[in-house]
Structure 1
Amino acid sequence: MSKNLFDLFEQNVNKTPEKTAIVHDKKHLTYQELFRDVKTLSAHLHHKGVTKNTHLAIIANNSIEFVTIMLSCAYLGATIVPLPLTLKNERLVKALRRSDCDFAIGWFTTISYLAENNIFNNDKLIAMGKKAGNCDFYDDFFHKHAAFSISDSVPPDTNYILTMTSGSTGDPKPIIFTQKTKINRSIIATKEIYDLNDNDTVLVSTPLYHSLALRSVLLPLLIGGTAILLTKFTAKNWVDAVEKHNVTFLFAVSTQLEAITHYMQENTYNLNSLNTIISSSALLKQNIKEKLLNIFNCTIYECYGTSEVGVVSHLKVKEMMGSVGKALPYVDLKIKNGEILCKTLTAFEGYYKNEEATQKAHDEEGYFRTGDLGTLDKNGFLFYQGRTKDVIITGAINVYPKDIEDLINEFEEVEDCAVIGIENEHFGEIIVACMTEKDNYSIKIPDIQKACLKHLTDYQMPQKFKIVKSFPKSGLGKILKNDLKKMVVNEERKVGKFNCGTTS
């Protein structure tokens, strides 16, 4: 049997036990120390009933503890369900139930909520940060380290991660990643493509409930490198970490790189350790590409892909302007009816308990339908032309309008709601909630804002609420969102630019 994820990590423990494996704030753990903590946690989780195919939610900010839980579940053969700490109330519960979670480990405020509302029994909950009622406290597991071994090795094709497609809210559609998927994305799709080795230090600057961050933190641990984990991204934190820890490789979302270019115009740092930067999520603007090339003395790639299949194509930023590159060596690309389709070794296993959606996501030859429009030129360069799916990308996070629309439409005075994304230089797109009023009713925007703050995650919060007289609609009564966007932008141009957080 080929090696599973934990086997690859343990190889590096045996090879370089005293090497720094991971750094977070002022905390450093060597490979041997991280291995010891993983084995201790595994003993406690196994005692609580976490075994192969158990589903365990992790609801926490970036931390070494988060990574320890990830590796422990890989060792036990359990499946992790990473969820944002900002997920609240019924939407949190819906995500947990949709992914059939048996246990939850998370920040004490969330664990307290789950316990008090009888979502889980106390013995299925583990609190982090502080104790939460009668639930187990994570730190208590490490008063005495325990030696522990499982009897059977976990097959690499074991389900390992369920990640949500829509910010884990509304109607969440969990994506299944096996251990093999994550290994392929780390080794075949990253180590081999970018010629990495155990001398590399990798910065992780996005939240660990994102697939990109999960790959970023697993990558160095599987190849014997060092992971530098940021609690939260700011341009200063990012630049400080690169300089202090001599970071050599990293993934960054395009909005982060844009913020960094602005910051670097006013600050001087030595970032010469960097060999490679990979820009993910939305496409970089041309002026930002030029600034990056002036700032960094390293190779910068722009990549295209989706959560389901990983990175599909890439190219160096200074090459073939307007393209998102050629297919990577392990990817087959084709265009069908204008849509980008692909086959790849890094593809997901399917949508959890949704065979119909999984089948619909593939054509008769097994190619994944990305939902994106594009063209391929005669030399194999891919050109991205937009999205067929109704999704807003704000700050590199996918937000599905229906989740917000369903909430706002609950208000009695709202006749209809349409949520759109308007291009913005800082966030990629900002979220604008447009509403029409029922006759003899008056919409109170502050009340809707309060409801959104209470029930939505932070990145789903509309930056602007707008009351319109009517929506442009098709002959079948469907709101024409592209026409609505044009209408809103034209109206706003008359009074000035969009200001995030404003209402009208």
Structure 2
Amino acid sequence: MHFTEQTIGAFMDEKCREYRNKEALVFPDGQERYSFEAFQKLYEDIAKGLLYLGVKNGDHIALLSLNSPLWIALQIAAAKIGAVLVCINTGYIKEELEYVLRHSEATTLLMMESFKKNSFFNSLSEICPELSTAQPGTLCSASLPNLKNVVMLDNCVKNGTFSINDVLGMAAQVTDATLQKASDRVHCKDITNIYYTSGTTGKPKAVMLNHFVILNNALQSGRQLGYTGKDRLLLCLPLFHVIGYVLSAFSCLLVGATVVIAPRFETEKMLAYIAQEKCTVLNGVPTMFKLMLDCKNFDQYDLTSISNGFIAGSCCSPELIARINRTFGMHLLNVYGQTEAIAICQTKATDDDSVRATTVGQPIPGIVAHIVDPQSGEELFDEQEGELCMDTVYLMDGYYKNEEATRKTIDERRWLHTGDLASIDPNGYVCIKGRIKDIIIRGGENIAPAEIEAVIKELDSVEEAAVIGIPDEVMGEEICAFVILKQDKSLSSDVIRSHVQARLAKFKVPKHIVYAQEFPVTSSGKVQKYLLRKQFLKQAELLQETAV
């Protein structure tokens, strides 16, 4: 099996020359269109501007923005000069932003000013009050000692910052030869991306991925998904996740396809983009497809151009897959992956409908799947259920500054432990049965219960908290917090939700709050969350029966 050992920058340069006059990026919101030639000019100018700012090989540069052509260009620009792009979730609020910037040791932050009511710049100004009096490029912050440069992507004028136009203007001061020299120093096994992913212990873990892993996974996955140069992808998945960038935008660009970029998912706008731009590929998480299918104006849009796509991010019922295929008239494939190894298993267009609806397919080339006993680690066979482990060439380099977590996830055989319960049928198809790890997947976002529990327990009236995921038709799972109050204390659900929303991203706020006297625990004192889940579902069922 052939794997390329080129860097992302070198490979992308080749493709931009090969597809020079083809349309690469379309951004309807900004009325922007880029050919592959223009796209290359954009990312090379950004790369030169970053070099002029003093960004060096191995430096960490953070990106906080909704989807845009600049986002993709910044990714390639960073890769060309050997910088490491730290991808930040736009749902993060101040405390989470501060943690990621400090933990990643980012020297440069490229950011949009705000999204909805979340002002990223105001949050940064509170974290770094020194920004208001600093000259651009000379930030010296007590809270974030590594951060020197702040670049505003929406060209607003802010004290202590550069605009993206400033950076593009700096490109004239850097020669092509200097850029090439920087690019030649980059190796395919160098780290190029850090993605923060929720873990069972609370704080998000920083997954390090190198050029080889991202480029080859995008190529192999794209082949399995059937992307061609004739395709037009509607990108509505966030670029700060691997399914948005690696498996959608980047994978399509590598075959000369066009990427139609939505800043974020908005139900009816997505349907309009498909009709206007004649998109052929639609990738999403179950929640996105459900919202589009249930849109009251669904039948008003011409969606006949859609032919294929994938669904990923959380478990999907066979009924939903069948409904999507039937209503969109498409061949929907199932993709299973994790940030730690990107795409792992995929169904194929040639698979039977029943296979595509009930399994996550076979491991892609470069991966061998194993099932092991979660307790003993012994390998299991003959369709036995156990933990899904992967021997993969697309393995992360580990969690940044977290060797303990890395050792727990990657064993001595270099197998990745997914934390998912699964079985493998005689034909090598993987069926996911559930999760071993304590993670909630809400609308495609991985959420660590421990993080929410810690925030709830900050409240003086709270004795103990246990957070679980419970089934939800639209979001896949919703967050439910069981709370034990201290003796003679009272606390409303609204106060709990407000406190969580002030400390964590909005998507981490519990929808359901249940007050309890005690929690079921094991002999070692561990909360038995599966019993709390059964208790909640039983109460919900009784309420439905009462209503009837």
- TM-score category of the 2 structures, normalised to the smaller one: over 0.9
Out of 346, 353, 356, which is 1:318 matched to? 353
1:178 aligns with 2:210: yes
Corresponding residue of 1:390? 438
Corresponding residue of 1:126? 151
Q: How does 1:49-128 map onto structure 2 within 5 Å?
A: 49-108=54-113, 109-118=119-128, 119-120=143-144, 123-128=148-153
For residue 16 of structure 1, what is the amino acid of its counterpart?
Y
Out of 5, 29, 32, which is 2:8 matched to? 5
What is the Cα deviation at residue 135 of structure 1?
Answer: 1.2
What is the Cα deviation at residue 317 of structure 1?
Answer: 6.9
CA gap of 1:195–1:289, structure 2 versus 1, over 3 A, is closer
Q: How does 1:365-444 map onto structure 2 within 5 Å?
A: 365-444=413-492
For residue 499 of structure 2, what is the amino acid of its counterpart?
A
Q: Give, in whole Å, the separation in 2 of the partners of 1:380 and 1:219.
A: 25
Q: Give, in whole Å, the separation in 2 of the partners of 1:286 and 1:188.
A: 25
Q: Give, in whole Å, the separation in 1 of the partners of 2:239 and 2:200.
A: 14
1:28-62 Cα offsets, whole Å, 9 max, x none, are 12222222222222222112211111101101111
CA gap of 1:299–1:445, structure 2 versus 1, over 3 A, is closer
Corresponding residue of 2:363? 327
Q: Give, in whole Å, the separation in 2 of the partners of 1:169 and 1:238.
A: 36
Q: Give, in whole Å, the separation in 2 of the partners of 1:477 and 1:209.
A: 37
For residue 193 of structure 1, what is the amino acid of its counterpart?
Q
CA gap of 1:303–1:68, structure 2 versus 1, over 3 A, is closer
What is the Cα deviation at residue 169 of structure 1?
Answer: 10
What is the Cα deviation at residue 145 of structure 1?
Answer: 5.7
TM-score (norm 1): 0.92
What is the Cα deviation at residue 415 of structure 1?
Answer: 0.8
Out of 484, 495, 501, which is 1:453 matched to? 501
What SS does the aligned partner of 1:412 have? coil
1:34 aligns with 2:39: yes
CA gap of 1:447–1:408, structure 2 versus 1, over 3 A, is same
1:196 aligns with 2:227: yes
Identity %: 24
1:101-141 Cα offsets, whole Å, 9 max, x none, are 12111123424532453345784211232222121122333
Q: Give, in whole Å, the separation in 2 of the partners of 1:226 and 1:83.
A: 25
Contact residue 160 and residue 177 of structure 1 kept, 8 A:
yes
1:394-416 Cα offsets, whole Å, 9 max, x none, are 00111000111000001110010
What SS does the aligned partner of 2:458 have? coil
Q: Give, in whole Å, the separation in 1 of the partners of 2:201 and 2:92.
A: 8
For residue 354 of structure 2, what is the amino acid of its counterpart?
E
What SS does the aligned partner of 1:487 have? helix
Corresponding residue of 1:502? none
1:79-121 Cα offsets, whole Å, 9 max, x none, are 0111122312222111112222121111234245324533457
Q: Give, in whole Å, the separation in 2 of the partners of 1:476 and 1:120.
A: 40
What is the Cα deviation at residue 73 of structure 1?
Answer: 0.4
Out of 3, 17, 20, which is 1:14 matched to? 17
Contact residue 484 and residue 518 of structure 2 kept, 8 A:
yes
CA gap of 1:98–1:145, structure 2 versus 1, over 3 A, is closer
- How many pairs does the alignment contain? 496
In structure 1, stretches of 5+ residues that fail to align are: 498-504
For residue 64 of structure 2, what is the amino acid of its counterpart?
I
CA gap of 1:329–1:181, structure 2 versus 1, over 3 A, is closer
1:135 aligns with 2:161: yes
Corresponding residue of 2:402? 354
Q: Which shifted more, 77-86 or 214-223? A: 214-223
Corresponding residue of 1:295? 327
Q: Give, in whole Å, the separation in 1 of the partners of 2:494 and 2:226.
A: 53
What SS does the aligned partner of 1:252 have? coil
Out of 291, 295, 299, which is 1:263 matched to? 295
Contact residue 204 and residue 213 of structure 1 kept, 8 A:
yes
What is the Cα deviation at residue 455 of structure 1?
Answer: 1.1
Q: Give, in whole Å, the separation in 1 of the partners of 2:297 and 2:455.
A: 41
What is the Cα deviation at residue 494 of structure 1?
Answer: 3.0
Contact residue 98 and residue 127 of structure 2 kept, 8 A:
no
Corresponding residue of 1:151? 181
Q: Which shifted more, 168-177 or 380-389? A: 168-177
Q: Give, in whole Å, the separation in 1 of the partners of 2:57 and 2:484.
A: 50
Corresponding residue of 1:364? 412
For residue 158 of structure 2, what is the amino acid of its counterpart?
A
Contact residue 92 and residue 169 of structure 1 kept, 8 A:
no
Q: Give, in whole Å, the separation in 2 of the partners of 1:436 and 1:294.
A: 47
Corresponding residue of 1:205? 236
Q: Give, in whole Å, the separation in 2 of the partners of 1:314 and 1:68.
A: 28
1:290-323 Cα offsets, whole Å, 9 max, x none, are 2122123332211222221222222347133533
For residue 8 of structure 1, what is the amino acid of its counterpart?
F
Contact residue 202 and residue 449 of structure 2 kept, 8 A:
no
1:168-206 Cα offsets, whole Å, 9 max, x none, are 99422101111111111211221x223433222222111
What is the Cα deviation at residue 167 of structure 1?
Answer: 8.5
In structure 2, stretches of 5+ residues that fail to align are: 114-118, 129-142, 374-385
1:147-170 Cα offsets, whole Å, 9 max, x none, are 542414121211111001118994
What SS does the aligned partner of 2:189 have? coil
What is the Cα deviation at residue 67 of structure 1?
Answer: 1.6
What is the Cα deviation at residue 383 of structure 1?
Answer: 1.8
CA gap of 1:277–1:311, structure 2 versus 1, over 3 A, is same
Contact residue 313 and residue 336 of structure 2 kept, 8 A:
yes
CA gap of 1:71–1:466, structure 2 versus 1, over 3 A, is same
Q: Give, in whole Å, the separation in 1 of the partners of 2:202 and 2:106.
A: 17
Q: Give, in whole Å, the separation in 1 of the partners of 2:278 and 2:393.
A: 31
Contact residue 6 and residue 212 of structure 2 kept, 8 A:
no
Corresponding residue of 1:483? 531
CA gap of 1:168–1:437, structure 2 versus 1, over 3 A, is closer
What SS does the aligned partner of 1:212 have? coil
